[in-house]
A and B are shown apart, each in its own frame.
Chain A
Amino acid sequence: MNDFLSVSRMITAFPKLLASLSVTFEIVAIAILVGLFLGIFIAIIRMFRIPVLNQVMTVYISFMRGTPLIIQLYLVYYGLPMLVYNLFGVDINGWNKLFFIITAYALNEAAFLGEIIRGAILAVPELQTEAGYSTGMTYFQTFIHVVFPQAIRIAIPSFSTDLIGLFQGTSLAFLLGAVDVIGKARIVGNNSGHVLDTYVDAAIIFIVISVLLEFIFHKIQKRGDVVYGKLQN
């Protein structure tokens, strides 16, 4: 039982896990950027209730929010190559696994970020838009100069929660064979026969980075309050 956890083994394994952090970061960074990009489109489609697309997006969001991530991962991993083959006759089965993994996370993020962005835009009071109109600006000008900057401020707390959630959520990627932090923890642990050590290592990495992210966003929020003034009233 004294071999239950060994600090020295943990220390030896730690750098190996850290090296795999780049894969985790790659998934998070690309998924969040693509998700943001698509999310803005989804938010616009939903806000202006663009016919057909609005209904499609409503179903899409329900699906993404209503099904486990693991199912979405498998659907993209096995389903996307079939879909592409049937539509375009191109075989993408041999493509890098990470491509499919990142695509799945990005599609999932698009739904969640789309809703965060939409909610934040709707949370900007109507009076702000009216004030824009009253100074002779068009809807678009008012949106760019007044509504959107305020919406970003409003979205920051939800965005940070979402980003940390995504970071944790990448831990499922190993199921498709990604060698991210968790994947590496499994491999190193299995090789040494002491999986617990490496999983505790992984836990430390996740906790430290999550707390760091939270801290950074808190700072951004505070800074925004100073630069912009608090957005009450």
Chain B
Amino acid sequence: MLSLAHIKKSFGKTEVLKDVSLSIKKGEVVVILGPSGSGKTTLLRCVDFLEKADSGTMTISGTTVDLHRAKRSEILDVRKKVAFVFQCYGLFRNKTALGNVALGLTVSRKMPKEEALKKSKEMLDWVMLSDKYDSYPSQLSGGQQQRVGIARAAVLNPDIILFDEPTSALDPELIGETLQVIKRVAKTGITMVVVTHEMQFAKEIASQVIFMEDGYIVEEGTADEVFSSPKESRTKQFLSRVLPPEYNL
């Protein structure tokens, strides 16, 4: 349903993605692990054209686009299939929670306002924010903001949702509620790619795990394979540092 081929991306002289290819099946929950600076976030951003890759192609729901030379209409088309959850939430500061969720529906999906508001309210209820429809982002806690961010992504009914370290900006107390909502999203069967440093969560949610380092995919496999018997020494080393000791790699 989503496949990436030979993606390369440099920022100035720094090569962030060196040659990344991967393929994701419908309904999979892919967790990308790896140390900071390994290119995880850049990879996600390239998929949604928030960053323009230097080269590479992507096939999404049957359509193939060149990540470097995509036309504006192709980019818009991809963005309608992909939703993104940002590390720092990125809620529209001039819109209420309800306005944030509904804006994409009314403006980009051209849905009638009534219907959009109804759907958005349902979605906010679903992320447990029924009492926050009219709150502005500044009046919400980090965890609440991120749940609005998730609702905003999920309401668009995309083919795939990309989560870019969705809990990294949250304090420990608020991480739980956010992870709970992400798990809920995963249970709906939607295809997801999640970049995260929350190992326990990754283990629970992932069907596939990708380990990235230094602009390459070092290892990929099912969650079980990668977590309990990683093949590559670098993956082992990384996991032994971040997983609780009982894993005993």
Contact = CB atoms under 8 A, between A and B. Distances in A.
Interface of A: 127-128, 130-138, 141, 145-146, 149-150, 153, 228-233
B104 A229 contact: no
B34 interface: no
Closest 10 CB pairs of A and B: A229-B136, A135-B104, A136-B108, A229-B138, A134-B84, A131-B90, A149-B94, A136-B80, A127-B90, A137-B108
Given A135-B103, A141-B107, A146 B91 contact: no
A134 B138 contact: no
A80 B180 CA distance: 69
Interface in B91-116: 91-95, 103-104, 107-109
Contacts of A128: 90, 92-93
A127 B86 contact: yes
Contacts of A136: 76, 79-80, 104, 108-109, 156
B49 to A, nearest CB: 7
A149 B108 CA distance: 18
B49 A229 contact: no
Range class of the B interface residue count:
20 to 34
23 contacts: A127-B90, A128-B92, A131-B84, A131-B92, A133-B50, A134-B50, A134-B84, A134-B90, A135-B103, A136-B79, A136-B109, A138-B76, A141-B108, A145-B92, A146-B92, A146-B95, A146-B103, A228-B93, A231-B94, A231-B138, A232-B138, A233-B93, A233-B137
B67 interface: no
A150 B90 contact: no
Contact of B93 (A134, A138, A150): A150
Contacts of B220: none
Contacts of A141: 107-108
A134 B80 contact: no
B108 A228 contact: no
A136 B156 CA distance: 9
A150 to B, nearest CB: 5
A128 B82 CA distance: 17
Given A136-B80, A136-B109, A130 B90 contact: yes
Interface in B149-188: 152-153, 156
Given A128-B92, A228-B136, A229-B136, A135 B50 contact: no
